[in-house]
Chains A and B, each alone.
Chain A
Amino acid sequence: MSDHMQLFEVFIRSRRGLDHKHVGSLHAEDHAQALEYARDVYTRRSEGVSIWVVNSSDIVASQEEDCDSFYDPLDDKPYRHATHYKLPAEVDNM
């Protein structure tokens, strides 16, 4: 494969009302081609109704070593969690 191809992350929304989920990555020359390959590589069994492709280099990720300062302080404040609410049965996706 030629070195100038870029890496893209692929997100697929499997049906209306759901959110896009990361499904994997692929190589392509540009965004337009990445979208076509995403269709061929990740939606061959009619998995999706919408595809996003994002240049992998555009993703800014938190680091493993940041875990303590990022997430720990949230754990001891249960009033921030919505776990005490009862969901009506009609709400399928939450």
Chain B
Amino acid sequence: MTTTENAVRDYAVRLGDDSLILGHRISEWCSRGPFLEEDLALTNVALDYIGRARMFFSYAAELSGDGATEDQFAYQRDCREFTNLLIHELPKGDFAFTMARQYLVDVYSVAFMAALKNSSDENLSGIASKAIKESEYHLRRSADWILRLGGGTEESNRRLQDAVNELWGFTRELFELDTLEADLVTAGIAVDVVSLRDDWERTVRATFAEADITIPEENWQVSGGRQGNHTEWLGHLLSDLQFVQRAYPGLEW
């Protein structure tokens, strides 16, 4: 494997990790949704993300070229080997928290996938073409919920405000570029996430203003996911996600 192939493989794993971990978090709503229709809708979104994770992991496995499979990426790595952005692993919280995170991530994903579509790497560009349609639909739903919850009752507004206060510091990480990604940006392969930030912030601020939600002033931020430094929550998530493969290695059905 060349150095570039190696970097592309790691990049695909990063994007696969983002999708798998968020997909798992959303799937935790299955059978626990606030009502039937929303339960099904959330489960659909979770499936979109898990399908996306499969595409990124399959590509990473192909680049590894050592007989690796997509399942190994999902089931046989431990916390420190996961490179997802931290916002994706935070517990699902209440419905307002889930929707607030989803909205922040959806606005990002639509712009991210539109940019990845122009990647000089055909596989990444192909995955992005499929993912962008899904993300546009996810955004339509989550943006709608932000307005409903923000402009709903005193309680729904308070819950949404609490969620945004908790989440805001985790959004900074979405726009960081480390050396690996910066080199891939130069090569025309990866997305220059720094350039997405202004538009993202403008859109998000406008929606929250309309929903009577205040963006917190505090300037704290957390990052480290891309380097494998995670919150305490990822281990608990993985023990759930990986249990069957850990207990019965190689099990298939």
Tell me the A residues contacting B by CB distance below 8 Å.
1, 5, 26-29, 32-33, 36-37, 40-41, 44
Contacts and interface: CB of A to CB of B under 8 A. Distances in A.
Contacts of A27: 35-37
B40 A41 contact: yes
Interface residues of B, number: 12
B148 interface: yes
Contacts of A41: 36-37, 40-41
Closest 9 CB pairs of A and B: A40-B41, A37-B37, A1-B35, A40-B40, A40-B44, A26-B37, A41-B40, A41-B37, A36-B141
Contacts, number: 31
A36 B41 contact: yes
B34 A37 contact: no
16 contacts: A5-B35, A26-B37, A27-B36, A27-B37, A29-B148, A32-B144, A36-B41, A36-B140, A36-B144, A37-B38, A40-B37, A40-B40, A40-B44, A41-B36, A41-B37, A44-B40
B44 A37 contact: no
Interface string B114-148: 00000000000000000000000000110010001
